[in-house]
């Protein structure tokens, strides 16, 4: 029996709303923007996106249940906006410094809590893509537990990096702790979210080749070169370190491309057969 995608009309927007990444986008935007002098802007954009996503989802998926992330988006950023509006100058400065870590840790708790009750928040989005006959399968639950755990780990890394910059370096705008490390953690989670369901699917579908590890590394390899360039431009590290990152990125990109060409020439990635496996 083939899986039936539970996709409402709406084209690309509907498909985007079926991704947990979209549900986490207000948190990602807030974490990336918040800092000294930027709290109001960050919380306003995060709240506006939360409201927009909620309205679009209700218009495209009328009658569907609310998702954990939708509710968390609205509640967290509405409360944070209210607190910021009523805060004294001292409290506002504290929020500008530590609100990024608070938001990241809140998502960690949300991920762990949803996993503990066996409703990982990514599973609510995955259900939009498959028929209900797959919702209770062990593989479906396990895959979403793993992916939700990876997102929890990514936001934990972001929280630790931001906390190190604030508490140890006393520099909330440190290029590495405020942006590069946090962005790298999000990119890694994004890459894993795309890669891991294909791994699970290959285990359960005969003739389905497993995705190569290079597919997981390609986004990270693509990030290394711009990080090296930014490090040189903003003098964020020793020059040799920035140059070294660029060289490592170039070497990794060439190795990945060479491996992909060898796989294609040897027939290592035959055309995939149509599968009943529901994940992606």
Q: What is the pLDDT of residues 131-172, one digit of tens each?
A: 788 888 888 999 999 999 999 999 999 999 999 999 999 999
- Least reliable range by pLDDT among 32-41, 51-60, 112-121, 149-158: 51-60
64-115 residue pLDDT tens: 667 889 899 999 999 999 999 999 999 999 999 999 999 999 999 999 999 9
pLDDT of residue 274: 41
Mean pLDDT of 126-133: 81
Q: What pLDDT, on a 0 to 100 scale, did the predictor assign at position 55?
A: 87
CB-CB contact of 32 with 39 (8 Å) = no
**Range scoring the smallest mean pLDDT among 64-78, 110-124, 206-220, 230-244:** 206-220
Helix (H, G, I), strand (E, B) or coil at 135: coil
Rg (CA), the chain: 21
Please, how many CA atoms are within 13 Å of residue 202, restricted to the half-sphere of its CB? 14
Q: How confident is the model at residue 272 (pLDDT cuts 50, 70, 90)?
A: very low
Q: Which two tokens stand for residue 41?
A: 């802007």
Task: Tell me which residue of 159, 141, 179, 137 sits closest to 32, measured CA to CA.
Answer: 179
pLDDT at 267: 59
Asked if the model's pLDDT at residue 263 lies above 80, the reply is no
Residue 19 makes CB contacts below 8 A (sequence gap 6+) with 125
Please classify residue 178 by burial: count the beta carbons closer than 10 Å to its beta carbon, then call 0-12 exposed, 13-18 middle and 19+ buried. Answer: buried
Q: How far apart are CA 253 and CA 250, in angstroms?
A: 5
Q: Residue 275: pLDDT above 50?
A: no
Best CA proximity match to 155, nearest among 117, 190, 116? 190
For 183, the enclosing helix (H) or strand (E) is: helix 181-204
Domain map (residue ranges) of the chain: 11-211, 217-268
Reading the block at residue 126, the tokens are 């995955």
Does pLDDT of 2 surpass 50? no
User: Of residues 280 and 213, which shows the higher confidence score?
Assistant: 213
The total number of residues shown for the chain amounts to 280
Q: Average pLDDT of 263-273?
A: 56
How many Å apart are CA 130 and CA 70, to the nearest integer? 20
């Amino acid at each position: 029996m083939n899986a039936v995608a539970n996709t409402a009309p709406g084209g690309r927007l509907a498909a985007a709303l079926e991704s947990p990444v979209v549900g986490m986008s207000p948190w990602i935007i807030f974490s990336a923007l918040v800092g000294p002098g930027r709290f109001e802007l960050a919380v306003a954009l995060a709240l506006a996106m939360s409201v927009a996503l909620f309205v679009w989802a209700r218009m495209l998926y009328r009658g569907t249940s609310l998702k954990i992330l939708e509710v968390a988006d609205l509640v967290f950023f509405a409360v944070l906006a209210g607190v910021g509006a009523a805060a004294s100058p001292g409290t506002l400065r504290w929020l500008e410094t530590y609100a990024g870590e608070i938001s990241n840790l809140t998502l960690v708790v949300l991920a762990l809590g949803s996993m503990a009750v066996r409703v990982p928040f990514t599973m609510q989005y995955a259900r939009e893509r498959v028929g209900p006959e797959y919702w209770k399968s062990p593989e479906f639950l396990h895959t979403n537990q793993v992916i939700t755990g990876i997102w929890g780990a990514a936001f934990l890394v972001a929280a630790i990096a931001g906390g190190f910059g604030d508490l140890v370096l006393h520099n909330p705008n440190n290029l590495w702790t405020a942006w590069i490390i946090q962005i790298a953690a999000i990119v890694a989670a994004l890459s894993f979210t795309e890669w891991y369901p294909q791994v699970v699917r290959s285990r359960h579908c005969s003739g389905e080749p497993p995705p190569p590890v290079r597919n997981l590394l390609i986004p990270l390899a693509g990030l290394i070169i711009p990080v090296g360039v930014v490090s040189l431009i903003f003098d964020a590290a020793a020059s040799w370190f920035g140059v070294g990152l660029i060289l490592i990125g170039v070497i990794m990109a060439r190795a990945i491309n060479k491996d992909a060409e060898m796989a294609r020439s040897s027939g290592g990635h035959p055309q995939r057969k149509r599968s009943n496996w529901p994940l992606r």
